[in-house]
Structures are given as structure tokens and as C-alpha cells.
Amino acid sequence: MTTALIYDPIFLEHLTPQGHPERPQRLEMAIKVLEALDWLKRDGLVLIPPRSATEDELALVHDHAYIQQVKAGADDVARKEQPGGATSRRFATDTYVSAQSYAAAIRAAGAPLTALDAIMQRQADNAYCLVRPPGHHALPNAAMGFCLFNNVAIAAQYALDHYEMERVMIIDYDVHHGNGTQDIFYTDPRVLYFSIHQAPFYPGTGHSDERGAGAGLGTTINVPLPASVGYEVYEPVFRQVMAHAADRFDPQLILVSTGFDAHWNDPLGQMNLSTAGFAQLSKIIIELAQTLCNGRLIMVQEGGYNLDAMGACVATCINLLLGDDAAVDSLGAGPDAEQGFHLNAEVLVAELRRIHKLTGYRMRNAPKPDVERLRREVKGPDA
């Protein structure tokens, strides 16, 4: 298995104010963990710097006027910055730009395009795009939720247009609903968008009755969950709803909005997933990609605001993409692992299957979960 890691230090130059959770240290920590494990030189891992997305590529999902607005916002900070300064300015509610933000954002948008090109040219089987700013809240004409350009949506549209794919699936397990991605493909039957997220929570969208519209009716699947649920609920939803929907849709490419803010230790999310839980969910996705689309899978970084959890989860995903099955984890299960909100997963799954007409359907090769095996730990550098 060859995995491409798409990363560029320019991502560290997109600055946010002191105390902002979406900060350069998130990616610095991920790189630090990979270095400590000596995994950047690992067999099968290829490091590929991302190209910048062109304005035409950004315009696959964004308005030209909005693209210019982001560029002008960054240029304006650069012009007024003192020599050696490192300032950022509010661009939209909670989203900031600094002098290098446009350069970072077009490289973040270019990362999954670079990944897809590498996969289609058979230089890699799958890829992890370690990028910021994140993307899944970005709308065609507006920034929100720390996001400037919708990296995953641009990649999905690029796959449809440039590689003439007919069916692309986006799986979003960030703790927040990816409202931007949903909006962009809401009426497009060629993109199946699946999101599992905390609700009620930011940004307030992603109800289970939001299922797409027009020709796209049925190709949006939302799974809103109350705070503090964990793996016991995520796992059956993944196996019995997400995987069935994927199997029925039969995608030619799977993109993942890979957010780790549903980790129990995350300061924004209030969910109860552990790194081992994320590993198991990611493994379900990897197996689906192998069964359905020759393993073509691109994970694109979204949220994740606890540095330790972020570093461990990134390293774990890369390990799984390379074909290993162990989680890198020095945090373990959360302190509330047993006291989490008890939701009747069977009732939830039955209701979701009814809403999305998944009745009478059985997943191909459905394996039994083997949690113990996944909890075998490779000690992280901080253990």
C-alpha cells in the first residue's frame, strides 16, 4: 500500500488570534508525532507537497467575487503589517485572515487535488491531506467556522469534472455538521454526502430530514447525535447506515472530512470517541473504499483542537491507510467512557434506515467489530 501525505509548511503561516482553537500548533503537533515515530521515512509513505488550486479550480464551488475578497483580505493585512509582525484580522464571525492566509488556503484546497492526481496516476493508493485552514463550513460566497475555501467540495467537483467520475462519496465525521459541503451538493445526485455530528450544536444544520432536494433528493444523509455519545453508537451507524448507503451508491472515490473534534478530550466537541474508536471508524471507511472503489480514498483534515488527540489521530489514520491496524494512543478511553449518554442505537439505526430506505439490505462482507485488537497500542512519544 502506498499512502501520500500531502503537507506544506505554508499551512503554519495562516494565523489566528491568541487563544483561537484553530491554530498552527495543531499541524505542528501532528508532524512532531510522525517524526517521533520515525514514520515520515516509512516504507510506503510518500511525501508530496501540494500544488496551489487555481482560481478556476476554486471557482468550481466558489464565486469569483468571494475568492477575490479572501485574497484582498490577506493582502490588506500584509500591506498594513509592521516588519516582522504576525497579525490576523477578523474576516467573518469566527474566521480570521493573516498576510499568508490566501497562499495557505489555496494550497489547502490544492492538497486533495494533488492527492487525486497522484492516485489517478497510480503514484499512491490513498492519501492524507494534513491541511489548514479547514474547509467544510465554507459556503460558495462566504467564510465561516474557521474555513475559507471548501477543500473537500472542490476536490469532489474536480473529480466529477476533470476525471469524469459519476459518483463521489464524502464522509464527514467532524463533530460539526459540514453545512458548506451539504449546501454545495444538495441538489447534485453525483455526490453522496454523509455527516455524523453533535446536535444541537454549531452550525445548527444537519437534521436527519435534510436529505437533499430535486435530483439530489436522497444523496444527503445526516446523523445528528446528542452530546456525549461514543463508539457504541457511532459504530452501528457506520456499519448499518453509512456502509449500506455507500454500498448502494457505489462511489468511484471516497473523500473524508477528517475532523477529530469528536474526541473525548477535545475542548470544543462534547462527544466520547477515543483514538481507538476513531481508528475503528476509519478502518470501516478504508475497507469500504477497498471493496467499492479500488481503495481510492482521500482523507482531508478538518477540525480537532486538543493537540495530543490531534497528533495521535493523524498518526493513527496514516498507519491505517498504510495497511496496519493499530491505533497510536497515549490518551486511552475518556474518563466518562462508561457514563456517556445512553442512546438506544438499535432504535436510531432502524429510524435512519427507514428515512433512507435502507430496508432489506445487507452489507457485503460485514466483519464483526474487534475492539480489543484495535486497542493494541503503539506508544506515542508523550507516553
207 is catalytic: no
Decide: is 174 part of the binding site for Zn ion (CB under 5 A): yes
Pick the binder of Zn ion from 50, 259, 334, 380 (CB under 5 A): 259
CA angle 43, 301, 135 (to 5 degrees): 150
Site residues (CB under 5 A) for Zn ion, limited to 51-80: none
In this structure, what DSSP letter does residue 93 have? Answer: T
Decide: is 176 part of the binding site for Zn ion (CB under 5 A): yes
Number of separate helices (H) and strands (E) present in the chain: 12, 12
Catalytic residue among 137, 244, 263, 356: 137
Task: Report the b/e string of 277-310 with b at 16+ CB within 10 A.
Answer: bbbbbbbbbbbbbbebbebbbbbbbbbbbbbbbb
Residue (24 or 44) nearer to Zn ion, CB: 24
Residue (251 or 304) nearer to Zn ion, CB: 304
Q: How far is the CB of 264 from Zn ion (least distance, A)?
A: 15
Q: How many angstroms separate the CA atoms of 248 and 245, rounded?
A: 5
Residue (267 or 367) nearer to Zn ion, CB: 267
Q: How far is the CB of 161 from Zn ion (least distance, A)?
A: 27
Q: How far is the CB of 46 from Zn ion (least distance, A)?
A: 28
C-alpha closest to that of 157 among 123, 214, 113: 113
Q: How many angstroms separate the CA atoms of 138 and 117, rounded?
A: 23
Question: Which pairing describes strands 95-98 and 88-92: parallel, antiparallel, or unpaired?
Answer: antiparallel
Site string for Zn ion, 281-320 (x = CB under 5 A): ----------------------x-----------------
DSSP element (H, E) containing 198: strand 191-198
Q: How far is the CB of 302 from Zn ion (least distance, A)?
A: 6
Q: How far is the CB of 209 from Zn ion (least distance, A)?
A: 22
Residue (252 or 258) nearer to Zn ion, CB: 258
Query: Which listed range, 107-115, 173-181, 208-216, 274-282, lies at the site for Zn ion (CB under 5 A)?
Result: 173-181
- Set of cell numbers at residue 87: 497579525
Query: Which listed range, 64-72, 73-81, 176-184, 331-339, lies at the site for Zn ion (CB under 5 A)?
Result: 176-184
Decide: is 230 part of the binding site for Zn ion (CB under 5 A): no
**Can you tell me which residue has the cell 509548511?**
9
Residue (303 or 311) nearer to Zn ion, CB: 303
Largest CA distance in the chain: 65
Q: How far is the CB of 276 from Zn ion (least distance, A)?
A: 20
DSSP string, 130-145: --SS--TT-BTTB-BT
| Total of residues contacting Zn ion (CB under 5 A) | 5
Query: Which listed range, 175-183, 201-209, 292-300, 370-378, lies at the site for Zn ion (CB under 5 A)?
Result: 175-183
DSSP lists the bridge partners of residue 48 as 6
CA distances from 133 to 97, 190, 296, 332 (A): 10, 26, 24, 28
CA distances from 273 to 92, 140, 210, 303 (A): 30, 31, 25, 14
Query: Which listed range, 57-65, 258-266, 274-282, 338-346, lies at the site for Zn ion (CB under 5 A)?
Result: 258-266
DSSP element (H, E) containing 126: strand 126-129
Q: How far is the CB of 153 from Zn ion (least distance, A)?
A: 15
Decide: is 22 part of the binding site for Zn ion (CB under 5 A): no
- Set of cell numbers at residue 193: 454526502
The phi and psi torsions of 287 (rounded to 5 degrees) equal -65, -40
Decide: is 197 part of the binding site for Zn ion (CB under 5 A): no
Query: Which listed range, 66-74, 171-179, 319-327, 335-343, lies at the site for Zn ion (CB under 5 A)?
Result: 171-179
Q: Is 29 helix (H, G, I), strand (E, B) or coil?
A: helix
User: Which residues contact Zn ion by CB under 5 A?
Assistant: 174, 176, 259, 261, 303
Task: Return the active site residues.
Answer: 137
